[in-house]
Amino acid sequence: MNVGTAHSEVNPNTRVMNSRGMWLAYLLGIGLLHVILLSIPFVSVSVVWTLTNLIHNMCMYLLLHTVKGTPFETPDQGKARLLTHWEQMDYGVQFTASRKFLTITPIILYILTSFYTKYDGVHFIINTFSLLSVLIPKMPQLHGVRLFGINKY
Amino acid sequence: MTESAANKEADGDTCHRVKPGRNGTVRNRQYRQPKSCCLDEAKVHQKTCNGGLYGRPFIESFEETPMLLAVLTYMGYGILTVFGYLRDFLREWKIEKCHIAREREEQRDFVPLYQDFENFYTRNLYMRIRDGWNRPICSVPGAKMDLVERVSHDYNWTFSYTGRAVKDVVNMGSYNYLGFAENAGPCTNAAAAVTLKCGVGVCSTRQEMGNLDRHEELEKLTARFLGVEAAMAFGMGFATNSMNIPALTGKGCLILSDELNHASLVLGARLSGSTIRVFKHNNMQSLEKLLRDAIVHGQPRTHRPWKKILILVEGIYSMEGSIVRLPEILALKKKYKAYLYLDEAHSIGALGANGRGVLDYFGLDPSDVDIMMGTFTKSFGAAGGYIGGRKELIDYLRCHSHSAVYATSMSAPVVEQIITSMKCIMGEDGTTIGKKRIRQLAENTTYFRTRLQELGFIIYGNKDSPVIPMMLYLPAKIGAFVREMLKRNIGVVVVGFPATPIIESRARFCISAAHTKETLDMVMHWHFTRLARHLKTSRPSERAEALDISSPPAPCDLAPSLSCVFIAVC
């Protein structure tokens, strides 16, 4: 669809999270997931919240920290091919508004989940590990770091 | 803080602390006359009669995406992505036939030749609606054209021609602003006569043997047309930019380029080796901030002063339909002693009372702009580009431009077409055809824009620009719109992500002087009102129904919405 002009924006992926309505769409997506899980008849509220937390964190880890590169060709000769979406956001500038938002949302979801699971021990351990799996890759010290060579190329 | 079209006209901070709403006016001249708007949505439309800097009201609108549509657009892309992964999985496990180029079995252990993921968008999104682009035509692209009919039996992976042609498709996509894309008339006759005399091609560069007397006449005529001292013509519009900017700037120079500049300008700037800084689209605060920073701090490491500062802007931006804020740029340029390169690819011939471009439109002096560049492709019905300016500049370019030294010069019939059409526009051929066409284009533009806004569609751009982007937003609507339009014998151009921001997919109409009012009426009343219900926009749809329009019995109205759903699923 590259009709006519080319932007000076070499990688549109960097601006996607800043676009209008993206944050709202993301929150609505979490809400939708939760409502779908709530509609399953024989699971309790605690399990539903834990499942919401787990699925949300798993999807976030997959989409933001596993998938690398861009789904379209960019004119920057592949600078972003080995970068995950989180690393591509805002061209690597840390602590922008979108990054803060995407860091805070799993934390708030975790707090809500802890409340609704009545601080049960097993749920706590599962949710905490899940939260850590999503928070640790977001740290600026881990920008571009691939542990044990996993997901390097 | 999220970005959107309205936020882009804000403070020149390139970081993320953009303040919404403020128009980018030059800081010193803060006269903003009270908005005596008889237009509704006053906070979106902004009139700037900036203390006498502008001779006429500058009205442009870039309405923000409605939140509901933005969320639905993301959902649409999300669903398409999920289905894309599903289809990739099916292809991987050979459940579905794979049409794309793949590695051979023996090469599996080597470094991969293709990045599968980079092709994701093309094979899962673009291929679904690919029949809306690159449609072959078999007539001259005037106000109406003939399309070659083609069908696809494997969901757009391959096309086969039925042998028929779709006749008399209204052409809303060609850059045919003054209607010179015709195959009969004085321009064609002159071009045919010159072909018999001078041949088809020149086969040599300007500096060796390719300099015909017609080239010299063309350049003198272009200089007279623009009101500059001298001009030089090149064979390709793209090459005019990409080959001449490197001749003008080099290392140690600074190029300030608009955000939405065309690929040719971007390429020329990169080839030159200068430092490039990008300012927000048409935002004078951003430009002034960059200029001040550049002059105060100088070159990055050494802090030496820049050798040259060149501002690259276009007359009309074809993706947004916006007109450059030229009076303010000229004021800035004079204040900070920078040079201005104005690319009038779309605005020459299309703007201004005499068709002389954006300078004529604003009533400014051509000697203020250092380098005036333009193309002959859009309004003159030919091909090629020109650069106009002072005589020293053009003499320099004749020696140092890559095009002059290495590229073939323009062929004689093309030159003749330009000469004849330019004389027609100037009125020197003794008729008033040129004047009539310029007036017709302005009338068509105003009519089409106001009617589209009344019908409730969201239109981007300046009130006077003949390029009209109409927002579609959802990915499925891109495909549905172009197919429905073709069923109704109207040919349009649509653009989506990644050429535009993700929530701003659009259909782009290019108005021509060759369109008659009846054609535009037919396009709008019979077809757009029907589609207005499905292309929900910011205004309430009751405005469309309130219009008393009698329409012929129509094909199934559910077709667009159903096709939206089908496109996502199949």
pLDDT in tens, B339-377: 999 999 999 999 999 999 999 999 999 999 999 999 999
Surface of B (210-269) touching A: CB under 8 A: 257, 259-263, 266
Q: What rounded mean pLDDT belongs to chain B?
A: 83
pLDDT greater at residue B539 or residue B494: B494
Whether residue A60 contacts residue A131, with contact meaning beta carbons closer than 8 Å, is answered with no
Helix (H) or strand (E) holding B461: strand B461-462
Residue A15: its chain B contacts at CB < 8 A?
Answer: 3, 501-502
Give the integer Cα–Cα distance in Å for B346 and B177.
9
Structural domains of chain A, count: 1
Q: Is residue A151 in some structural domain?
A: no
Q: What pLDDT, on a 0 to 100 scale, did the predictor assign at position B429?
A: 85
What token pair was written down for B300?
């990055």
Given the cut 0.90, state whether the ipTM is greater than it: yes
Distance from CA of B464 to the nearest CA of A (A): 21
B23 has a chain A CB within 8 A of its CB: no
Choose the weakest-confidence range: A5-19, A27-41, B480-494.
A5-19
Whether residue B131 contacts residue B159, with contact meaning beta carbons closer than 8 Å, is answered with yes
Q: What pLDDT, on a 0 to 100 scale, did the predictor assign at position B539?
A: 53
Q: Is residue A152 in some structural domain?
A: no
Render pLDDT for B42-77 as a digit per residue (tens, 0 to 9): 444 444 555 567 888 888 888 888 899 999 999 999
Residue B234, judged by CB atoms within 10 A of its CB (0-12, 13-18, 19+), counts as buried
Q: What pLDDT, on a 0 to 100 scale, did the predictor assign at position B543?
A: 40
Residue B196, judged by CB atoms within 10 A of its CB (0-12, 13-18, 19+), counts as exposed
Residue A28: its chain B contacts at CB < 8 A?
Answer: 71
Choose the weakest-confidence range: A77-81, B346-350, B425-429.
A77-81
Q: Is residue A94 in some structural domain?
A: yes
Nearest to A4 among B78, B318, B478 (CB): B318
Q: What pLDDT, on a 0 to 100 scale, did the predictor assign at position B65?
A: 86
Whether residue B569 contacts residue B128, with contact meaning beta carbons closer than 8 Å, is answered with no
Q: What pLDDT, on a 0 to 100 scale, did the predictor assign at position B36?
A: 41
Phi, psi of B497 (to 5 degrees): -60, 145
Surface of A (8-47) touching B: CB under 8 A: 8-9, 12, 15-16, 18-25, 28-29
Phi, psi of B152 (to 5 degrees): -130, 135
Give the integer Cα–Cα distance in Å for B500 and B489.
26
Q: What is the mean pLDDT of residues B187-206?
A: 92
Q: Is residue A63 in some structural domain?
A: yes
Question: Are B498 and A1 in contact (CB < 8 Å)?
Answer: yes
Residue B262: its chain A contacts at CB < 8 A?
Answer: 4-6
Q: What is the mean pLDDT of residues B556-569?
A: 38
Work out the pLDDT band at B536, boundaries 50, 70, 90.
Answer: low
Q: How would DSSP label each residue in B131-174?
A: GGSS--B-S--SSEEEEEEEE-SSTTSS-EEEEEEEEEEEE-SS
Question: Phi/psi class of residue A52: alpha, beta or left (left: φ > 0; alpha: ψ in -120 to 50)?
Answer: alpha
Q: How many CB atoms lie within 10 A of CB B499?
A: 19
Cis amide prior to B498 (ω within 30 degrees): yes
Q: Is residue A81 in some structural domain?
A: yes
Q: How many CB atoms lie within 10 A of CB B274?
A: 24
Compute the radius of gyration of chain A from its Cα atoms.
18
Q: What pLDDT, on a 0 to 100 scale, did the predictor assign at position B10?
A: 39
To the nearest 5 percent, what fractions of chain A are helix, strand and coil?
Answer: 65, 0, 35
Could you tell me the residue range of the domain that residue A92 belongs to?
A: 14-142
Q: What pLDDT, on a 0 to 100 scale, did the predictor assign at position A7?
A: 60
Choose the weakest-confidence range: A63-77, B187-201, B430-444.
A63-77
Q: Minimal Cα distance from B68: which residue of A?
A: A21
Q: How many CB atoms lie within 10 A of CB B367?
A: 13
Give the integer Cα–Cα distance in Å for B149 and B160.
9
Render pLDDT for B79-113 as a digit per residue (tens, 0 to 9): 999 999 999 999 888 888 888 777 778 887 887 77
To the nearest 5 percent, what fractions of chain B are helix, strand and coil?
Answer: 40, 15, 45
Q: DSSP secondary-structure letter at B372?
A: E
Distance from CA of B18 to the nearest CA of A (A): 11
Q: What pLDDT, on a 0 to 100 scale, did the predictor assign at position B537?
A: 58
B115 has a chain A CB within 8 A of its CB: yes
Whether residue B370 contacts residue B389, with contact meaning beta carbons closer than 8 Å, is answered with yes
A7 has a chain B CB within 8 A of its CB: yes
Distance from CA of A126 to the nearest CA of B (A): 27
Q: What is the mean pLDDT of residues A42-63?
A: 95
Give the integer Cα–Cα distance in Å for B158 and B135.
13
Residue B562 has pLDDT above 70, yes or no: no
Helix then strand count (H, E) for chain B reads 18, 18
Give the integer Cα–Cα distance in Å for B389 and B176.
26
Using alpha carbons, list the distances in angstroms from residue B128 to B78, B122, B569: 15, 9, 10
Question: Are A22 and B121 in contact (CB < 8 Å)?
Answer: no
Q: Is residue A7 in some structural domain?
A: no
- Tell me how far apart the 2 most distant CA atoms of chain A are, in Å: 59
Question: Are B266 and A16 in contact (CB < 8 Å)?
Answer: no
Q: Is residue A148 in some structural domain?
A: no
Q: Is residue A1 in some structural domain?
A: no
What token pair was written down for B200?
């088809």
Residues above pLDDT 90, as percent of chain B: 61
Nearest to A8 among B70, B119, B257 (CB): B257
Surface of B (526-545) touching A: CB under 8 A: none
Residue A135 has pLDDT above 50, yes or no: yes
Surface of B (48-77) touching A: CB under 8 A: 64-65, 67, 70-71, 73-75
Using alpha carbons, list the distances in angstroms from residue B236 to B257, B264, B375, B403, B415: 21, 11, 8, 9, 12
Q: What pLDDT, on a 0 to 100 scale, did the predictor assign at position B553?
A: 33
Q: List the beta bridge partners of residue B257.
A: B278, B312
Residue B242 has pLDDT above 70, yes or no: yes
Q: Please name the residues in contact with B526: beta carbons below 8 A apart, sequence gap of 6 or more.
A: B488, B551, B552, B554
Q: Minimal Cα distance from B76: which residue of A?
A: A25
Give the integer Cα–Cα distance in Å for B328 and B334.
10
Render pLDDT for B513-529 as a digit per residue (tens, 0 to 9): 999 999 998 888 766 77
Q: Which of B258, B282, B211 is nearest to A6 (CA)?
A: B258
Nearest to B263 among A5, A69, A90 (CB): A5
Residue A4: its chain B contacts at CB < 8 A?
Answer: 262, 318-319, 493, 495, 499, 508
Give the integer Cα–Cα distance in Å for B359 and B371.
13
Q: Number of A:B CB contacts under 8 A? A: 117
Residue A96: its chain B contacts at CB < 8 A?
Answer: 16
Give the integer Cα–Cα distance in Å for B387 and B343.
9
Work out the pLDDT band at B40, boundaries 50, 70, 90.
Answer: very low
Q: Minimal Cα distance from A24: which residue of B?
A: B71
B85 has a chain A CB within 8 A of its CB: no
Question: Are B120 and A71 in contact (CB < 8 Å)?
Answer: yes
Q: What rounded mean pLDDT belongs to chain A?
A: 90
Cα B491 to chain centroid, rounded: 17
Work out the pLDDT band at B442, boundaries 50, 70, 90.
Answer: very high
Distance from CA of B32 to the nearest CA of A (A): 28
A90 has a chain B CB within 8 A of its CB: yes
Work out the pLDDT band at B508, boundaries 50, 70, 90.
Answer: very high
Q: What pLDDT, on a 0 to 100 scale, did the predictor assign at position B226?
A: 94
Distance from CA of B197 to the nearest CA of A (A): 35
Q: What is the mean pLDDT of residues B457-484?
A: 90
Distance from CA of A5 to the nearest CA of B (A): 5
Q: Minimal Cα distance from B125: which residue of A?
A: A1
Q: Minimal Cα distance from A8: which residue of B?
A: B259
Residues above pLDDT 70, as percent of chain B: 84
Q: What pLDDT, on a 0 to 100 scale, did the predictor assign at position B60?
A: 87
Phi, psi of B508 (to 5 degrees): -115, 120
Amino acid identity, position B154: D
Question: Are A5 and B73 in contact (CB < 8 Å)?
Answer: no
Whether residue B80 contacts residue B125, with contact meaning beta carbons closer than 8 Å, is answered with yes
Residue A8: its chain B contacts at CB < 8 A?
Answer: 257, 259-261, 266, 278
pLDDT greater at residue A121 or residue B113: A121
Residue B24 has pLDDT above 70, yes or no: no
Give the integer Cα–Cα distance in Å for B359 and B366.
7
